Amino acid sequence: MTKVHQIISDTTLTYHQMMLALARLAESEDSTSLPRTEEELKAMEDGILCDLNEGLVPYRPRYIIPDYMKFLKEGSAFLDLKAPQDLWEACNNLLILYRHVPSITSFPVYLGNLDDLLEPFVLQLDEKEAKKCLGLFLTNIDRTLTDSFVHADLGPKETVTGRLVLELTEEMQLAVPNLTLKYDPEVTSDEFAKLCLKCMLKTAKPSFADHKTFVSEWGEDYAIASCYNGLTVGGGGFTLPRMRMYETALKSSSIDDFLDNVLPHYVKLMCGFMDKRVRFIVEESNFFKSNFLVTEGLLELEKFTGMYGMVGLAECCNYLLGIKDPNKGYGHNEEADALGVRIMDRLSQLVSEHVAPYCDAFDHHYRLHAQVGIDSDGRENSPGARIPVGSEPDLASHILHSTKFHKYFPTGIGDIFKFEETWLNTPEALLDIIKGALSQGMRYFSGYLENNDVVRVTGYLVKKSELAKLDAKQQSLNNCSIFGVGARDTANALDRRVEAYEGAD
């Protein structure tokens, strides 16, 4: 059976999923437009360099962060839309634009800071009508933007819109969109933060992003998109290949050899690989020349950067120290953690020394990203700098560990904690923890209750009931359910430690 035939006869694919699969197949046919060097191909074969399924011929930036505020103020000539006058028009305009925002997944990975965008319109209406409109807006997003990397932001200020979005998210139990609260304890009220926490426990979102940290790196106009990716509004991320640290470590004879020779060699290789892709997107594909998002000023080339992804810091450290048992290594062992810090210092330095094409707003540098892993990674490379699933230490040690590593990753890193039911009754206790965590250097905190239907896999959300559909060979509307099945089965991603009630009598 040909590959095309295989795709079109797969009964678990929806029509849209089938089209995307065919498009990926077509792209993979062209190995001449942007050829890969022998060395790059070898590094890919060795599992060190991974292009994260971006394809051979990139025809749009991986992540696109349109300036939706500008769009709502000015409308769009290309879409023949005027600036909206009320909430119904604003939501309708946004839903139209979302269908025209590409990305690696062909769905928008960023929907805007929904409360900033919609609050003036929400305040025009009585709350009942506003809630109805927002409910339809969210339902439309969930059923048409059927991909869990679709992401919207809230905060840091409390708004009526924010509160209504939380209420609706809880009531409707949607997997899409993913949500982030931009959290600043000095701006966000405790009451609003606790509402967000309750919603997070019940629906696995929003996650909490440290507003101050992101502002210091990206300025006020930053976005959290896709899983947890920090980027600039009006810009985005060109490309995100990954370095798999465990396989990289396999090439070295010692820790010093790794830090002095192997790591610099492969960082140089991967940066060169990124440079070529960035140039191709900008210079060869039509995107920055003719796409209306660019020509109408909703995107600016200068505000894009490349994302340098990595996975498997835990396994890299454990391998270099000869540690076989993950319960005694990285995350449990001061020596392994100290090596992790040394490696990250070195990796940051090497990446920051590379002068990248374009990336004007970032002084021509790429930015590090702790990638959340893909289903085929199995157990050899834990996501980003995370402690391996199933080997997590207690909550306090886990958070203290995270605070050492989050600073290295402006384009995103996050940790996920699974909680037992009692935490729902004590949001103030969880808020104490999050406040402490963010003040100590953690930038992104996600959580959910162990018995939820909507759960967080590695960064994206899936419904366990949708995974069950795929298990039964039925179709799932959401594109990410299939990744969820893979991550669950090959990486045990749903088996993370539960923060349980441990009180004695």
Partner 1 sequence: MKAPINRIIPFSNVDGPGNRMAIFFQSCPFECMYCHNPETIRMCIACGTCVQNCPVQALEKKDGQIVWDEKKCVQCDTCIKVCPHLSSPKIKWLSTNDLMEEIKKVRLFIRGITVSGGECTQHRDFLVELFSKVKQLGLTCLIDSNGSYDFSGDSELMEVCDGVMLDVKATNPLFHQNLTHTDNQLVMKNLKFLLESGKLEEVRTVILPTYPDQNEETVRTVSRIIQGKCRYKLLRYRPFGVRKEGLDFCGQIITSEFEAERLKSIAKDEGSDSVII
Q: Which stretches of the chain bind partner 1, using CB under 8 A? A: 394-397, 399-400, 422-423, 426, 428-430, 432-433, 435-437, 439-440, 499, 501-505
Of 333, 382, 376, 325, nearest in space to 496 by CA = 382
Cα-based torsion angle of the residue sequence 246, 491, 344, 254 in order, rounded to the nearest 10 degrees: -20
* Between 338 and 429, CB nearer to partner 1: 429
Extract the tokens encoding 202. 């019940």
Supply the minimum distance, in Å, between the C-beta of residue 446 and partner 1.
17
- Asked if residues 439 and 186 have their Cβ atoms less than 8 Å apart, the reply is no
DSSP letter for 64, please. Answer: E
* Between 150 and 434, CB nearer to partner 1: 434
Extract the tokens encoding 102. 């590409």
Supply the minimum distance, in Å, between the C-beta of residue 216 and partner 1.
19
Instruction: Please name the amino acid found at residue 219.
Output: G
CA distance 308 to 340: 17
* Between 286 and 397, CB nearer to partner 1: 397
Q: Which residues of 203-241 are buried (b: 16+ CB within 10 A; e: fewer)?
A: bbbbbbbbbbbbeebbeeebbbbbbbbbbbbbbbbbbbb
Supply the minimum distance, in Å, between the C-beta of residue 423 and partner 1.
6
Supply the minimum distance, in Å, between the C-beta of residue 198 and partner 1.
14
Supply the minimum distance, in Å, between the C-beta of residue 345 and partner 1.
23
Supply the minimum distance, in Å, between the C-beta of residue 409 and partner 1.
22
* Between 193 and 231, CB nearer to partner 1: 193
- Asked if residues 224 and 230 have their Cβ atoms less than 8 Å apart, the reply is yes
* Between 332 and 369, CB nearer to partner 1: 332
* Between 78 and 501, CB nearer to partner 1: 501
Q: How many CA atoms lie within 13 A of 337 on its CB side?
A: 15
389-397: long-range contacts, CB 8 A cutoff, minimum separation 24: 389/491, 389/492, 389/493, 389/495, 389/496, 390/326, 390/492, 390/495, 390/496, 390/497, 391/326, 391/327, 391/329, 391/331, 391/332, 392/331, 392/496, 392/497, 393/331, 393/332, 395/433, 395/499, 397/331
* Between 33 and 397, CB nearer to partner 1: 397
CA distance 454 to 175: 6
Supply the minimum distance, in Å, between the C-beta of residue 317 and partner 1.
20
Supply the minimum distance, in Å, between the C-beta of residue 502 and partner 1.
5
Tell me if residue 208 falls in helix, strand or coil: strand
* Between 254 and 397, CB nearer to partner 1: 397
Extract the tokens encoding 488. 């669950």
**241 preceded by cis ω (within 30°)?**
no
Beta bridge partners of 449: 419
* Between 337 and 375, CB nearer to partner 1: 337
Supply the minimum distance, in Å, between the C-beta of residue 169 and partner 1.
23
* Between 363 and 428, CB nearer to partner 1: 428
CA distance 384 to 371: 5
| Contacts with 389 (C-beta within 8 Å, 6 or more apart), sequence order | 382, 491, 492, 493, 495, 496
Supply the minimum distance, in Å, between the C-beta of residue 108 and partner 1.
36
